[in-house]
Amino acid sequence: MSKIQAVFIDRDGTIGGGTEVEYPGELIPYAGVLEAIQRLKQKNEE
């Protein structure tokens, strides 16, 4: 199977929420998002 070339994920309202995010440290990810991104990375390494 070929490796994933790119994954585009919209930040606001897709992987995190709350108020507007101006700086990366302000993003509060939704539950399960970090684990899902990690699974994408792992699948690409297989």
Q: Tell me which residue range forms the domain holding 42.
A: 1-10+28-46
Give the pLDDT confidence score for residue 45 in this predicted structure: 79
Q: Output 42-46 pairs: Cβ under 8 A, ≥24 positions apart.
A: 43/4, 44/3, 44/4, 46/1
Residue 19, domain member (yes or no)? no
| Domain count across the chain | 1
Average pLDDT, the chain: 83
**Residue 15 near residue 32 (C-beta atoms within 8 A):** no
Residue 2, domain member (yes or no)? yes
Give residue-wise pLDDT tens across range 29-46: 899 999 998 998 888 877
Residue 23, domain member (yes or no)? no
